[in-house]
Amino acid sequence: MSLILPQWDSIAHPVIGMIHAAPLPGSPHCNGDWNSVIDRAIADAKALTDGGCDGVMIENFGDTPFYPGRVPAITIAALTRLAAEVRRATSLPLGINMLRNDGQSALAVAVAVGAQFIRVNVLCGARVTDQGIVTGIAHDLLRERVQLNAQHIRILADVDVKHSAPLGPRSLIDETRDLVERGGADAVIVSGSATGQPTSLADSQTIQSAAGNTPVFIGSGATVENVAALKPHCHGFIVGTHFKRDGVVDAPVDVQRVRSFVDAVRN
């Protein structure tokens, strides 16, 4: 099974470390110190690289409350600048996530900075979220990827995404199959109910079975303590909160916590 990127094909369980960008210009909580936002993103990228991650992904984490769909131009410009700085700071594969669900802007940033993948929270279907009802964008995103000649940029898509509830009852099997077979997801992400919350082993098993040959990544709640139990039910990990100092999501990345987790995955 190919694990999305050629760089990962020889790695049993690639580890993607999250760069949670501080509030960007134009967002309600931005303090106006743009240089500190850039410095923090670069420092986190270097810590994730030094700790042994196999990839990094940056998102506009601090921009709450999020837009449910397309974000303004200043957000795209700011995240592009940050992603370009991260691209210079590390040679690891780079991913982009434009919260809450602006996959087209994430794709545009990825094309501009030479990133290799994007994350999309709601690629198919509809979810009830704190932004209201968020609907799938696969029909637009996949066409735009072709128009930009960017098929090499892979789409990692959430199933039963955190911080949301289904608009109507559907099984995880059906949702996963739709993501892969109808939505064109290159990989599927399974997570807990919120940022940093544990991922259900039963859900991981169900989704891995339904995804067939499409890789499944654990998207939240993976720790040194539970990684051994999770490994048989996924093909890789996306880690944010656990890598932060003292496990606090707003803190800087702690390179020793990264090393400990990567060692646990490799062993």
Q: Please determine, looking at this structure, whether the domain spanning 12-266 carries the CATH number 3.20.20.390.
A: yes
Structure tokens belonging to residue 164: 């949301």
> Could you tell me if 165 and 125 are in contact, meaning their C-beta atoms sit under 8 angstroms apart?
no
Q: How many CB atoms lie within 10 A of CB 186?
A: 18
Distances (CA, A) of 187 to 118, 153, 172, 179, 224: 10, 12, 15, 9, 23
Looking at the DSSP assignment, which residues form a beta bridge with residue 253?
244
- Cα torsion 48, 50, 51, 55 to 10°: value is 50
Structure tokens belonging to residue 54: 């196999």
46-88: per-residue pLDDT in tens?
A: 999 999 999 999 999 999 999 999 999 999 999 999 999 999 9
Mean of all residue pLDDT scores within the chain: 95
95-126: per-residue pLDDT in tens?
A: 999 999 999 999 999 999 999 999 999 999 99
Structure tokens belonging to residue 50: 């030094």
175-195: per-residue pLDDT in tens?
A: 999 999 999 999 999 988 778
d(CA 43, CA 253): 8
Whether pLDDT at 252 is above 60: yes
Structure tokens belonging to residue 129: 């979220």
d(CA 86, CA 29): 22
130-166: per-residue pLDDT in tens?
A: 999 999 999 999 999 999 999 999 999 999 998 999 9
- Beta-strand relationship, 236-239 and 132-135: unpaired
- Cα torsion 191, 196, 18, 211 to 10°: value is -10
